[in-house]
Structure 1
Amino acid sequence: MKKMFASERRKIILGKLTDQHRVTIKELSEEIKVSEATLRTDLSKMEEEGLLKRTHGGAILSEKQDSDTSFTTRELKNRYEKAAISKKAAELLSNGQCIMLDSSSTTLELARTIKEMPIRLTVVTSGINTALELNENPNITVILLGGIIKKGSFSLEGSLGINILNQINIDLMFTSANGFTFESGLTDFSVYEVELKKAMVSASNKVVALLDHTKINKNSIASFASINQIDTIITDFDMTGSYTKKLEEQNVKIIMISTDEHVN
């Protein structure tokens, strides 16, 4: 059997935790085929990163990660910042474009902004709420990607909707994430949703990441877009110095929302 890297093991562990909220070292050892000692090291590292909480003989999903997976919770968090970021993102739109929106709470805010705009667009999305929001505007053609409805959410996941992406030319994809780091790029907590988001990123000519300050320098389960796949980041996080320089070296455009813009 091919040796599994630590990152691959941890992706499996977090995937199981997301689905069932607790795991034991014994069941993980049997499934992943590595020693219990190795898994204890993995769990300790992941606990240090705030991804889980160790228990006797296993682990549970950390309270923070658990609450982050609820769409209702995420929608209410930092809504003011998300609205400001979305208004800035809407400035990138022009008549006749075909754009893609993921199922994040931030792009739902963008959809609410777009709905009120006098603009003609085709919008492809994996978000059920996003599709319903935009369908109220007669000038917007909405294409909802097929898939499995994610439990406790209003998003679709899985590979059922991927084939349609081969038939559409996407000018811009707007996406958010559970976390963003320079090393991992955009990361999310659902390994199943990540597969669809990877295909969405690959099908798009340009990718715009909408990230409030709580997403920056935070890692989650799995990456769906590396730094070289991101064209623009719109954020209220104060990106300065070496961080900005590293992103610009990768040709990532940074649009920062100032405090003054938040007030308006």
Structure 2
Amino acid sequence: MLAPERRNRIMHILNQHKQLLVKDVSLELGVSEGTLRNDLKILEEDGLLERTHGGAVLPKPPTQEYTFHSRSQVNQTEKMMIGKAAANFVQNGQCIILDASSTSLELAKHLVQYDYLTVVTNGLATAQELTRNPHISVIVVGGVLRPGSSSLEGLLGKGLLSQIHADILFTSARGFTVAEGLTDFSVYEAELKKTIVSNVSKVVALLDHTKLNRRSIATFAEMSQIDTLITDPGANPEFLKQLKGVEVVIADSL
């Protein structure tokens, strides 16, 4: 079992039982207790759990439910800047793919004046924003709608996406490091994005500075597969210097 799949299983167990013991889960997954403790350490660093003596528990819930709306309010100014800068990469007549992130939604707001675009997305809010322009053809990728979410999740759209050869994928991520590339919490979402990355001509990552040098469970794009990173002025210059072969765009102030 690969590490990303194993960590996803750990989170599934934890979400079911609210707590876990290292000795029990190591037997269930067929790995050593040392390996499992290392997984728990990584998951704790990503804020997904809290380690306890001999196990782990779910982190204390935030005071506000972490819905799409609440996520969109985090670093909102930076996301607006990044979305505006990303629109400069779009040309009339292209087929582009936008993920369901709040940063891609900011990009969508700058596309309403474009003509003859085809946009593929699994973001409901993004799709609704784009329908304001009758010259944009919007294709919504199917999936499961979770409570409090604005995205259609799962692998139901994988067959459709494997047949679409888009010009650009605009995507956010839970984290981005030199070693792991673009990472996401959901293994299923990562698998879906892997399919997209393998078929598009260009990958543009839309990441505010808090996503940089941070990792999550599953990689969906290696650094060599990323063409452009658009970030904000808060990005660490030392980290950006490590991104060999990646075009880096610092979004201007609004």
Q: For residues 64 and 94 of structure 1, what CA distance do their matches in structure 2 show?
A: 43
Task: After TM superposition, give the deviation of residue 102 of structure 1 in Å.
Answer: 0.4
The CA RMSD over aligned residues, in Å, is 2.7
Match of 1:170, SS? Answer: coil
Q: How far apart, CA to CA, are the structure 1 residues paired with 2:193 and 2:218? A: 11
Match of residue 76, structure 2, among 74, 79, 87: 79
Mark the CA change 1:37 to 1:220 in structure 2 (over 3 Å): closer, same or farther.
closer
Question: Which residue in the other structure is 1:159 paired with?
Answer: 155
Q: Which moved more, 1:175-184 or 1:194-203?
A: 194-203
Sequence identity percentage = 51
| 2:107 is the alignment partner of 1:110 | yes
Alignment partner of 1:214: what SS? Answer: helix
Gaps of 5+ in 2: none
Q: Equivalent residue for 2:247?
A: 253
State the secondary structure of the residue aligned to 1:31: helix
Is residue 223 of structure 2 the alignment partner of residue 227 of structure 1? yes
Cα distance 1:135–1:21, how it changes in 2: closer, same or farther (>3 A)? farther
- Number of positions where the alignment pairs a residue of Structure 1 with one of Structure 2: 253
Q: Distance in 2 between matches of 1:66 and 1:5?
A: 34
Q: Secondary structure at the match of 2:248?
A: strand
1:240 is matched with 237
Q: Are the aligned partners of 1:179 and 1:216 in contact in 2 as well (CA < 8 Å)?
A: yes
Which of 175, 192, 195 is 1:196 aligned to?
192
Normalised by the size of structure 1, how large is the TM-score?
0.84
Shift in alpha-carbon separation, 1:144–1:217, aligned structure 2, 3 A: same
2:99, 2:123 within 8 Å by CA — same for their partners in 1? yes
Report if the CA contact (8 A) 1:122-1:141 is conserved: yes
The Cα of 1:74 is off from its aligned counterpart by 1.3
Aligned-pair CA distance for 1:60? 2.4
State how far apart, in whole Å, the 1-side matches of 2:197 and 2:16 are. Answer: 25
Alpha carbons of 1:151 and 1:30: their partners in 2 closer, same or farther (altered >3 Å)? farther
Paired with 2:50 and 2:247, the residues of 1 have a C-alpha distance of 37
Cα deviations by residue, 1:181-213 (Å, 9 ceiling, x for unpaired): 111111111222222122122221110000101
Q: Residue type matched to 2:235 in 1?
A: D
Structure 1 residues 227 and 67, CA, compared in 2 at 3 Å: closer, same or farther? farther
Query: Partner letter of residue 139 of structure 2?
Result: I
6 and 148 in structure 1: CA distance in 2 versus 1, 3 angstrom threshold? closer
List gaps (5 residues or longer) in structure 1: none
Question: Residue in 2 aligned with 1:127?
Answer: 123
Alpha-carbon distance between aligned partners in 2 of 1:18 and 1:205, rounded to the nearest angstrom = 38
